[in-house]
Homo-oligomer: A and B are copies of this chain.
Amino acid sequence: MPQNRIGERTILFPHAPGILAAAAVVGPKEGKGPFGQAFDLVIDDPMYGQESYEQAEHAIYREACQRCCQKAGIETRDVQALLGGDLLNQIMAASLAARELEVPFLGLYGACSTMSESLILGAILTDGGYASPVICAAGSHFCTAERQYRFPLEYGGQRSLAAQWTVTGTGACLLSGEAETAMAHITGATIGQVVDMGINDASNMGAAMAPAAANTLLRHFQDTGRTPEDYDKIITGDLGQVGSDLLRELLKESGITLTKEKHLDCGLEIFDPKDDIHAGGSGCGCSASVLASHLLPRIHKGEWQRILFMATGALLSPTTSQQGETIPGVAHAVVIEGGK
């Protein structure tokens, strides 16, 4: 039996599967943010020509997957698996996109940690020779998330300062075991456990996710013997301002210094700070679209050699919130490196 592990929770990928291409399709508000020019497509209208926001979310999802294949020069029908999910009940955006893509489909749900989860499972499939190429994707939509988790869009409720703004967009990566022309390579991963410190404010998901992010990071450093200095950037998904501050504080208590310069939170970067988004962006399309449009190209250009990409998820549902349940968090870390 092979033993592709180090420490208690960390996986190694001896063949370092490659990310052949990545694509992001986002909404108009995201298009006005600092990565506006880097996205593959910025749609004008959150309905994207569909009859409902949910249908728009699935069409954006499909479009990102198709563009990703096109950029890699791969026919969609040659994809051996789509691994992905979204935030809708029963991950309907990914499921409906998979119906139209007609490729084998493995549905995932990790809330906003879904992009990391899909990269880990995609890397395992391609590294082990079980399937290649595979699409890893995650998406969200402000209008569907808002009305599903919070209030009707027309209600216009006051938003708390700790609240985050769900990203409208999907990011997709094409992973392959044959990785000679890859933009970047996946060399390791730490699967996170569910951590719950008792936060029950559904408007403060940064606080709910930060302890899980700290847990996964600490275990990753323990397992690998690495420190933040071994990475050009430690990237979190969508902790936002509240969660990012908490993460650095929790790490400090455990003797790890994560400077603001070393840390990049996708939720803090995706929107124009002048926009009224409060604590930052969120949604599993947030880290997925920043990965595709900003992080991977910087590795590809050689500006960064090695990053730790850790999308973070708050595992709540409207039902559990209404029943007074607290909000567990989860975070998975993926080591992404430049040319082998």
Contact = CB atoms under 8 A, between A and B. Distances in A.
A111 B92 CA distance: 11
B92 A89 contact: no
B99 A196 contact: yes
Given A107-B109, A193-B104, A95 B315 contact: yes
A1 B121 CA distance: 17
Nearest to A196: B99
Contacts of A199: none
B317 A92 contact: yes
B107 A3 contact: no
Contacts of A55: 323, 325
Interface stretch (A31-39, A80-88, A243-251, A255-263): A80-88
Contact of A92 (B1, B91, B108, B315): B315
Contacts of A110: 106-107
Interface string A88-117: 111110011011001111111111000001
A128 interface: yes
Given A90-B317, A95-B194, A128-B128, 12 more contacts: A1-B15, A5-B131, A9-B80, A92-B320, A96-B325, A102-B193, A105-B330, A106-B108, A106-B191, A107-B315, A107-B330, A124-B130
Interface of A: 1-5, 9, 11, 15, 51-52, 54-55, 80-81, 85, 87-92, 95-96, 98-99, 102-111, 117, 120-121, 124-125, 127-132, 148, 177-178, 191-196, 315-320, 323, 325, 328, 330
